[in-house]
Amino acid sequence: MRTQVAIIGAGPSGLLLGQLLHKAGIDAVIIERQSGDYVLGRIRAGVLEQVTTDLLDEVGVGQRMHKEGMVHGGFDMLFKGERHRIDMNRLTGGKNVMVYGQTEVTRDLMDARQAAGLVTIYEAGNVSVHDFNTKRPRVTYEKDGQTHEIECEFIAGCDGFHGVCRASVPEGAITEYEKVYPFGWLGVLAETPPVHHELIYVNSTRGFALCSQRSSTRSRYYLQVPLTDKVEAWSDDAFWNELRLRLDAGGREKLVTGPSIEKSIAPLRSFVAEPMRFGRMFLAGDAAHIVPPTGAKGLNLAASDVKYLSGALIEFYADKSEAGIDSYSGRCLRRIWRAERFSWWFTSLMHHFPENGPIGQKLQDAELDYIVNSEAGARSVAENYVGLPLDFGD
């Protein structure tokens, strides 16, 4: 098989890249090691920045998002038992975020790709990338007992943190930066109405909590827990009881509980790999960077990577110019490090760090007090939360 671009990974970043290239008339094949049902079964974040919603509209898959998604113009920060609203809409000149689950984004992109008759190869085993430092890269994989090869001109590594693309880069050609946090998020999805119409970020001496939602009837809640905790040790009743202890009186009164339909513990890390281009292979999304979920940046950073990459490839084929390809890594990394900084800062601000002692909690309280009582402090949080524009600082 021959194609112009081989995309490794059929998550939202790979699918979005495929749609952007298809719209520009560039042929791309997507190779995914899991089944389509498995990809759709991943429970992930659901806060979309304007950049991401604009991209989904650009490729023609935004209709259901606008119909079913929830526009949020602010969020609450709860500390010392009191709630304070960050009015993002006012502080950023009218910008908002969209709450729409990553699973739904993936479904919309999958449906669009299928409707267009584009090639996606699921359940591809032993995927390998070859010759990406030449002008004739190749991808091999196994399926139905046979080995297959795809000849291409570029490879896009949208295959996640544990994917084959970054792992195939020669030793010494890449630098990795990583911070692993000493706690995880215990998440519960429940068919219950949300405790609040917007998100609530909770700083508590018992640990961080987040009250989120996927719809007016489906809630998503998180608790900070030690990495040593096992999800099996947390009954639904234990989860709801602990969440009540971290909420304020108003939250406890409005909290509706019920059986969980999904429960998991996710570790938190900050991770960046530099550079993101290796000859004719590019990394995008989780293959190149991970952020703590506190700032809701993971999917949005992947979307901006894909926008930069699609633009670079379109420029290459339309204008025979390699300028966008040459600047891809540096341009992405500028935006990535800004988001990494915000996610690290927000995580450090909202979570409980017992090793920091009482002074650590006092310093967090003082910074939170500054943020909610300072126009400049609140605006900085709001500006970063809604997402910096793609051309910020260019």
Based on its alpha-carbon atoms, the radius of gyration of the chain, rounded to whole angstroms, reads 21
Name the DSSP class of 170: P
Q: Out of 95, 289, 297, 307, which one is annotated catalytic?
A: 297
Cα torsion 249, 250, 256, 261: sign: negative
Active site residue 100: no
Q: Out of 181, 222, 293, 328, which one is annotated catalytic?
A: 293
How many residues are present in the chain? 394
Cβ–Cβ < 8 Å for 325, 279: no
Active site residue 293: yes
* Closest to 204 measured CA to CA, from 294, 109, 82: 82
Whether omega before 275 lies within 30 degrees of 0, making that bond cis, reads yes
Q: CA angle at residue 36 from 34 to 303, to 5 degrees?
A: 90
**Cα-Cα end-to-end distance for the chain:** 39
Active site residue 385: yes
Q: Out of 72, 263, 289, 307, which one is annotated catalytic?
A: 72
Cβ–Cβ < 8 Å for 223, 206: no
* Closest to 311 measured CA to CA, from 391, 387, 388, 392: 391
Q: Out of 100, 181, 201, 328, which one is annotated catalytic?
A: 201
Name the DSSP class of 277: E
Angle between helices 50-58 and 12-23 (to 10 degrees): 50
Active site residue 352: no
For residue 206, CA distances in Å to 202, 267, 337, 361 come to 10, 18, 30, 11
Determine the Cα–Cα distance for residues 104 and 222; give it in Å rounded to an integer. 20
CA dihedral 200, 203, 204, 206 (to 10 degrees): 100
- Coil, strand, or helix at residue 96? coil
Token look-up 């990974």 returns 9
- Which residues fall within 8 angstroms of residue 81, CB to CB, at 6 or more apart? 248, 249
Active site residue 254: no
Token digits of residue 356: 């920091």
Q: Which residues are catalytic?
A: 72, 201, 293, 297, 385
